Structures are given as structure tokens and as C-alpha cells.
Amino acid sequence: MPSWIGRFLSSSVGKKTVLAVTGLSLVGFLVAHLLGNFSLYTGGIEGFNEYAAALEDLGGLLMAAEVGLFALFVIHMGLALRIVRENRLARQEAYRVNATMGSSTAASRSMAITGLIVLLFLIVHIIDFRVPTLLGDMDNLGEAVVQRLASPVGATIYLLGILALGLHLRHAIQSALQTLGIQHPNWSPFLRAGAMALAAALALGFASFPIYCLLSEGAASAAVN
């Protein structure tokens, strides 16, 4: 690795830049994942299974994508924890943050907490669906997803995870754009509004699935009774 790359990555600016790039890359994945999950609405369980089967048919490409996503997440999480630790060790920086606490938001002050909650939610999500699929123990992924999200416990876990994700994205997207220098006095307000709108759209989109499954299960039970 050239020395200048090492110096850049070890600097505060370099770490924050990589954090922003990996974060926005993960946001891109969330957008694609949400659009794919909408197949549950357009085609029901069968349509969702067809979407899942199309992904599995990618074979090595899917595996490479999953490895890449895992690497992005590990790098992003590791850098975030390192930056938080370095900020806490820097007394002057800690003083500056405390001095401006009044202008910060709940989302910005809770980034580490919401990030850890999202991590726990991701682990549960993978254990619930991806691991059984890889082991060949999941015959009907769409039905398993609906059953899981139609249960009060499953829906609650999912909604709490999505709430944490929404709060995390509310600050993260805007902060990443600012870190990368994507700002201007004339259109920064529109970027902030767009970042908040994207975070809200992702959170509401993912939250709609457990709500839909709960309502569908309730309607089905009422019809049977």
C-alpha cells in the first residue's frame, strides 16, 4: 500500500471519508433490498419466493455480493467505534461536543446506540432467514417471512430494529454527504430535506412489512372465525 494511502486512512479525515463512503454504499443496498421486498406486495408469497429464487440463481455473484456487504458493514462499524473512542479520548473534542449539545439532535447523539441496535437486529434477521436458507432448511422463504412478521414478538423485534435504523439514517446520510463535501449554501437545505426524506422512506417502507403481515393475519383469523 502506498504510504500516502496509509497516512490518509489513518487520519481523521480519511477515516471519516471511508465511514461516509461505506455508509452510503450500505444505504444503496437498503434501497435495493427494500425494492426487492416489495415483491411481497406485488406478487404475494409466490412473488416473493420468485424474487428470492432469482437471487439464489446468481450463485457465485450473490455470494460475492454478500461477502462485499459483510466487508462494508465490518469496516463501517469498526471505523465508527474507533472514531467514537478517539473522540472520547480527546478532551478538547469532548468539550466542544458538550458545548454544542444544545444544537445537536437525538439522532446525532444516539448514533452509537442505534448502530449497535441495528447490528443486533441484523444478527437476528440473518439467523431467522439467511442461515436456514444457506443450510437448505428453508423450503418456503416467503411463508416463513410472513409467519415471523405476523407474530407479535417477531413484529415487535422488527419494528424496533427499523426504528433504530431510521434514527441512525436520519443523521448518517446527511453527515456522510457533508463529510464528502456535497454541500452548498444554496442547496444544502434541499440536501438535508432529501436525506431526511430518504431515511423516513426507508424506515416506513421496511416497517410496512410487519404491519401488513399482522393485519393480514388478523383478517385471515377473523375470516375463519
Higher per-residue pLDDT: 117 or 110: 117
How many CA atoms lie within 13 Å of 36's alpha carbon, on the beta-carbon side? 14
**Most confident range, picked from 14-18, 21-25, 180-184:** 21-25
Handedness of CA 136, 138, 142, 145 (dihedral sign): negative
Which residues lie closer than 8 Å to 89 by C-beta, 6 or more apart?
Answer: none
Answer yes or no: is pLDDT of 220 > 70.
no
Grade residue 190 by pLDDT with cuts at 50, 70 and 90.
confident
**pLDDT of the residue at 207:** 96
Mean pLDDT of 155-178: 93
The pLDDT score that the predictor gives to residue 218 is: 56
Least confident of 69-73, 180-184, 193-197: 180-184
Identify the pLDDT of residue 224: 46
Give the range among 33-37, 181-185, 208-212 with minimum mean pLDDT: 181-185
Spell out the residues 6+ positions from residue 15 whose beta carbon is closer than 8 angstroms to its own: 9, 79, 82, 83
Mean pLDDT of the chain: 85
The set of residues, in sequence order, having a beta carbon less than 8 Å from that of 155 and lying 6+ positions away, is: 149, 210, 211, 213, 214
Instruction: Say yes or no to pLDDT of 174 above 80.
Output: yes
pLDDT of residue 221: 46
What whole-number distance in Å separates Cα of residue 158 and Cα of residue 184? 37
Indicate the pLDDT class of residue 61, thresholds 50, 70 and 90.
very high
What CA–CA distance (Å, rounded) separates 35 from 31?
Answer: 6
Whole-number Å distance between alpha carbons of 49 and 143: 9
Tell me the average pLDDT across 137-160: 92
Whether 102 shows a pLDDT value over 90: the answer reads no
pLDDT at 110 over 50: yes
Instruction: Look at residue 219 in the predicted model and tell me its pLDDT.
Output: 52
